[in-house]
Amino acid sequence: MVDIGILLQILFWGIYAGCIYILLATGLNLIFGVMKIVNFAHGEFLMIGAYITATIFLISGINPYVIILLAMLALIGIGAVVERLCFRPILGSGKLNEIFLSIELIYIFQNGAAMVWGDEWQSVKSPYEGIAVPFGSLNLPLDYIIIMVVTAAILAALFIFLQKTRIGREMRATSQNRKGAMLVGINVERMDVLSFGIGCALAAAAGTLWVVSGQVFNPYMGSIPAVKAFAIIILGGLGSIPGAIIGGLLYGIAENAAAYFLGGVWKDAISFIILIVVLVFRPTGLFGESGE
Amino acid sequence: MIITRDQGTKAITILTVAVAIIAPFLSDNLYLLNLLSLMLICIIFASAWNLLAYSGQGSLGHAAFFGIGAYASTLIATASGITPYFTIFLGAGVAAFIGILIGLTCVRLKEWFLAMVTFGFAIIVQTLTVSILAPMTGGWDGISSPRLLSPSIPGYQFIEYYSILLITIATIIVIWYIMRSRLGLAFSAIRENELEARASGIDPVRYRLIAFGLSAYIAGVAGALQIHHIGYITPEIYSVDLSFWPVTYVIFGGLGTLAGPIVGTIALTIIWDGLKMAGITFARYVIVGILLILVIIFLPKGLVSLPDRLKEWWERRNDTAPPKTGRR
């Protein structure tokens, strides 16, 4: 019989892993909602974010949880450039073209990063490493708790931005009906740049959290989390941010459970098994409508 | 839009064949011979991917079928002692069978959901190979695979090269035949407009499954050939990289054309190994990536369409008459 403590541990680690997926999936959802594009290179933004944080942290020693803001700002810029140069020219020319383009972006970013930072696995020690908070029979690492709090704060800020500000409302209008938004005078191309930038910033936040949790990283780390994030938004429903949150948590927990019960190699496979099983029975995803 | 224009296609194919036959005579360089063999195998692999794309489906996990064909052929050849020249086609049969099974789960999905499922499928197959199937496959360490020809035969590299060339040409002829047949017409009808295809009595599900099976079979042939050529197989064969290569070759050459994968593979191999000889390692991915993005944006039909585009541009320059409408 499995110990209840171990189950709690799996749950806790799953929620922590889910935080990174939630940030990635939410960003993808935002981009997909507004621009209707499929960007498989989203994980590369996570990787760049991770490296920016690690580099600034190693040089300056600033608390990495503060650097998260710098990394997000930097990635808004990079995202805007990528959107402007690569995705806007092919907007509306078909999903396959977008997938091809993102594959080439993956090559460029991964190997560009390898040229700058080298292709070895690296890791960074968080200032709070080793501090644990006792919780019942468990000792929870302080870093993981901060990561959960930071994720919740970022999501709350995004929610307020989308609901309460004018730009946020314009963005939601664009995602609901692009032509209608154009007709009422919203600059949809600006919304494209903005949503792409914010999506990338969320990926950078995920990358920063990846680094501070003490996980190893290298230039090739991003592609599989990104595809999993896509699996999450397919399951959770395209364009639905609550769906992305639920899906992200589900994936985090399922992966950790699979790694514990079946062995570490199953960690990646389990996410795709879930995806395929769901799609066999519901070709549009768990909560999906037959939209795009 | 049926892109197989016979004249141009034929010319390019013949040219390719001629180059491929002449090349090894130009040098006794075994490195070059090996490179050309691998290039031919990549042409088969890219053509297989292209055939699937011809029916309007995009796969990001073709390494799965490449690898399944390779493993199946290796295991059959090792267990039975039959020559790899025969087991290649048996192994590819296994790949086709599994391809149809995964196709069954995919045929009702939209094109990029399909890309997700196939991507995940390659990862699942890799996981199975190193866990449950490890006693057979040797896990992460891999197993050795029987060579196409025993190295004791004099000049075996040349015979091997020509047999690979023969299989490549045969594959391209088969694909050419498929594209020109009613089957190919059905594929492009589904790709262009599924509703109209249905209205004219084409069952999209059935034809998509056929395309999946055929494509997986040809990818399996390519995988088995490569592994019997190298003589060793590891689960690295299911890597994401290998799934992305055929996509890159095909979009560089020209999606949905017979000559596209051939031209794309040859051109990229030259660029790729040229950069390697120049001592560029990581940067060549960046260079090729940027090149490919430029092709996607400015030459959406690939290198194959370059002569036409140049001709069009030349005529427009020399003509004072107003330009024809519809640049793309």
Q: Would you state the pLDDT for residue B323?
A: 53
What is the SS3 string spanning B47-60? HHHHHHHHCCCCCC
Per residue in B126-136, pLDDT tens? 989 888 888 88
* Sequence-ordered list of residues with C-beta below 8 angstroms from that of B127, at least 6 positions apart, any chain: A265, A266, A268, A269
Instruction: Note which residues in 258-287 of chain B have CB less than 8 A from chain A.
Output: 282-286
Instruction: Write out the H or E segment, with its range, that includes residue B232.
Output: strand B232-233
d(CA B63, CA B59): 10
Are the beta carbons of B297 and A90 separated by less than 8 Å?
yes
Q: Which residues does B18 contact at the CB level (< 8 Å), separation at least 6?
A: none
What residues of chain A lie within 8 A of the CB of B256, using their CB? none
CB-CB under 8 Å, A265 with B127: yes
Strand partners, A217: A122
What is residue A222's three-state secondary structure? coil
- pLDDT greater than 50 at residue B53: yes
Residue B1 predicted with pLDDT over 50: no
Question: Confidence class of residue B214 from pLDDT cuts 50, 70 and 90?
Answer: very high
What local confidence, expressed as pLDDT, does residue A1 receive? 54
Mean pLDDT score, B240-255: 90
How does DSSP classify residue A287?
S
Domain residues of chain A, as ranges? Answer: 14-117+139-219
Task: Confirm if B227 and B76 have CB atoms less than 8 A apart.
Answer: no
As a whole number, mean pLDDT of residues B40-46 equals 93
B255: nearest Cα among A172, A110, A101: A101
DSSP string, B113-168: HHHHHHHHHHHHHHHHHHTTTHHHH-GGG-EE---SS-TTSTTHHHHHHHHHHHHH
Q: Which residues of A touch B108 (CB under 8 A)?
A: 283
Highest mean pLDDT among B201-205, B221-225, B261-265: B221-225
Nearest CA in chain B to A226: B116
- The model's confidence at residue B278, banded by pLDDT at 50, 70 and 90, is confident
CA distance A38 to A32: 7
Sign of CA dihedral B75, B78, B81, B84: positive
Give residue B27's pLDDT: 59
What per-residue confidence (pLDDT) applies to B320?
59
Tokens 């690492």 correspond to A141
CA distance B223 to B73: 9
- Tell me, what's the pLDDT at B326? 52
Whether residue B247 lies within 8 A of chain A, CB to CB, comes out as yes
Q: Is the backbone of residue A133 left (phi > 0), alpha (psi -120 to 50) or beta?
A: beta
Closest CA to B224 of B25, B97, B45, B53: B45
Q: How far is CA A106 from the centre of its chain?
A: 15
Cβ proximity of A40 and A102 under 8 Å: yes
Distances (CA, A) of A30 to A115, A191, A217, A238: 31, 11, 26, 9
* B42, amino acid identity: C
- Give percent of chain A above pLDDT 70: 96
State how far the Cα of A194 lies from the Cα of A173, in Å rounded to an integer: 14
Q: What is the pLDDT of residues B143-201, one digit of tens each?
A: 888 888 877 777 777 788 888 888 998 898 899 889 888 999 999 998 888 888 888 88
Tokens 């006794």 found at: B28
Among B19, B20, B12, B22, CA closest to B166? B20
Instruction: Write down all domains in chain B, each with its CATH number in brackets.
Output: 6-314 (1.10.3470)
Model confidence at A290: pLDDT above 80: no
Which tokens sit at A138?
Answer: 């468990």
> What is the pLDDT, as a whole number, of residue B144?
87
Are A186 and A174 in contact by the 8 Å Cβ rule? The answer is yes
Lowest mean pLDDT among A41-55, A233-247, B85-99, B312-326: B312-326
- For residue A23, the Cα-to-chain-centroid distance in whole angstroms is 4
With CA atoms as reference, the chain B residue closest to A266 would be B127
Is residue A67 within 8 Å of A50, Cβ to Cβ? no
B242 closest CA partner among B114, B122, B74: B122
Residue A229: closest C-alpha in chain B:
B116
**Which of B52, B60, B110, B113 is most worth mutating to test chain A (most A CB atoms within 10 A of its CB)?**
B113
| C-alpha span between B327 and B312 (Å, rounded) | 9
Note the ipTM here. 0.84
Q: In percent, how much of chain B has pLDDT > 90?
A: 27
- Amino acid code (one letter) for B128: L
Mean pLDDT of A264-286: 82
Residue in chain A nearest B284 by alpha carbon: A111
Our CA angle for B207, B213, B214, nearest 5°, is 90
Q: Which residues contact residue B261 at a Cβ distance below 8 angstroms, ignoring those fewer than 6 apart?
A: B43, B46, B47, B49, B50, B246, B249, B250, B253
- What is the C-alpha separation between B121 and B126, in angstroms, rounded? 9
Select the residue from A82, A272, A274 to test the B interface by mutation, using most B Cβ atoms within 10 A. A272
Interface touch B282/A115, C-beta < 8 Å: yes
CA angle, B317 then B323 then B328, to 5°: 105
Nearest-by-Cβ selection for A111 from B60, B282, B297:
B282
Cα–Cα distance between A85 and B192 in angstroms, integer?
28
Mean pLDDT of all residues belonging to chain A = 86
Tokens of B38: 């691998």
Going B79 to B84 to B86 to B90, the CA torsion angle's sign is positive
The band of B312, judged by pLDDT with boundaries at 50, 70 and 90, is: confident
User: How many residues in total does chain A contain?
Assistant: 292
CB within 8 Å of B114: residues ≥ 6 apart:
B57, B58, B59, B106
B3: confidence class by pLDDT, cuts 50, 70, 90? very low
